[in-house]
Amino acid sequence: MRMSSSIRFRRLSIFCAATLLVAGAAPAATSANDYQVGSYYTGWSVDKGFRLKQFDRSPAADGFTFLVYAFENVYPMPDGSHRCDSGRDVPDRDGAGMRATLDYARRFGADESVDGSADQPGQPLAGNFHQLAQLKARRPNLKVLVALGGGEWSRWFAQGAATEKGRRALVSSCIDLYLRGNLPRLDGHGGPGAAAGVFDGIDLDWEHPGPADKGNFTLLVQELRRQLDALGKETGKRYLLTAAVNSTDEKMRHTEPAVYSRSLDWINLMTYDFNGAWKAQGPTGFQSNLYPDPASKDASPRSVDTGVKRFLAAGVPPEKIVVGVPFYARGWRGVAPANNGLYQPAQGAARGFEEGAEEYARIAARKLPGQYHPVARQWWTYADGTFWTYDDPRVIEEKAGYVRTRRLGGLMSWALDQDDAAFSLSRAMTTVRRAP
């Protein structure tokens, strides 16, 4: 991840880098090019009209270091184990969804594919996995990880991680499917090794561990690291291991950040969703503000800075903290007009692509009058009783400066398809790699 003029100095640099890689640690950010910049790319975004080709042709792509493909699921098996599985489509009910066709069997036409070639019947790999492979071929420095779990697909992690035998079986199954690439046959696609080489590592998205999961969360991360390293000895490649982690104290207390972070290359810290219309009556508030605002009516004001400091105090090295930014807005309707809607009561969730949320692309297209909060460092709009809180390019560039100043690991976003057509937010993220 982290990348002289005498021979002696070069040898020392190589020795130090090799030592860090063997230890499973990500070297500290030391220059502009060392920062990670990435986004989650959702499998279902293709159904919304998004294509990786659009990203590949954008200026933002040159500044990205990674993408995370979201999500793959874990399932209970007849033998009592819990494993990654694929090969069919399952409706997304009760956390049991599967989208195998989108993953590797949907055939992209020449006009929509990254490299301009059409998928053919019977080729081992099609679908989003093939598009990712094409993107990597064009951008060999880009790393692609596969995300396991997610907010709705994490229900079986607790059971799967409960025993040593269970953890080994779970991790082995996921590596076999996504790193070794042994995909079940589906509509003429898949087969042994079909997806080998697509993914450079795994992103663990066990987003809601409970009090009883504290030690097992760490043990699962360690087992992932152990088996990824074992695979690396076979292939001669080092595989990345990251985790998407909620930044709040309520979630952090159920894990051991100082311990599990030793096995990770970095943490994708979800520093957003601080406020939202799950509190339908408000008060309104910022969802991803950089700093807390003393004027907030929230008894426990949240912020990016608060979350980062929480993880630093817990013992996580700063270079392993990758700060998350949202490419969507949170909002309320029926909001009282005082203070331009900020910190006011509401009547319910604003209407967007889902209740209380809207993509940045749609918000930006409306050209709503908005304002920037000089203390919280967040943008918001208020019009016709509707309040939206979100990051715009200015806010994200400030977060990039925050990351550089504190020598953190970089920036990541959820999710790539929610940016506008010019990839304005993605381009703002890449400023973290700009020379000071």
Token duo for residue 36: 């990670």
pLDDT for 6: 34
> Is residue 3 pLDDT above 70, yes or no?
no
Integer distance in angstroms from the first to the last C-alpha of the chain? 20
> Is residue 209 pLDDT above 70, yes or no?
yes
**CB-side neighbour CA atoms (13 Å) of 266:** 30
Quote the percentage of the chain above a pLDDT of 70.
92
pLDDT for 45: 98
Specify whether the CB–CB gap between 428 and 397 falls below 8 A. Answer: yes
> Is residue 252 pLDDT above 90, yes or no?
yes
The residue among 277 and 6 whose pLDDT is bigger is 277
The residue among 7 and 54 whose pLDDT is bigger is 54
Q: Which of 330, 401, 343, 406 is nearest to 373 (CA)?
A: 343
Enumerate the H helices of 24-90 as residue ranges.
52-56
Query: H/E element holding 12?
Result: helix 7-23
> Is residue 29 pLDDT above 60, yes or no?
no
pLDDT for 436: 66
pLDDT for 321: 98
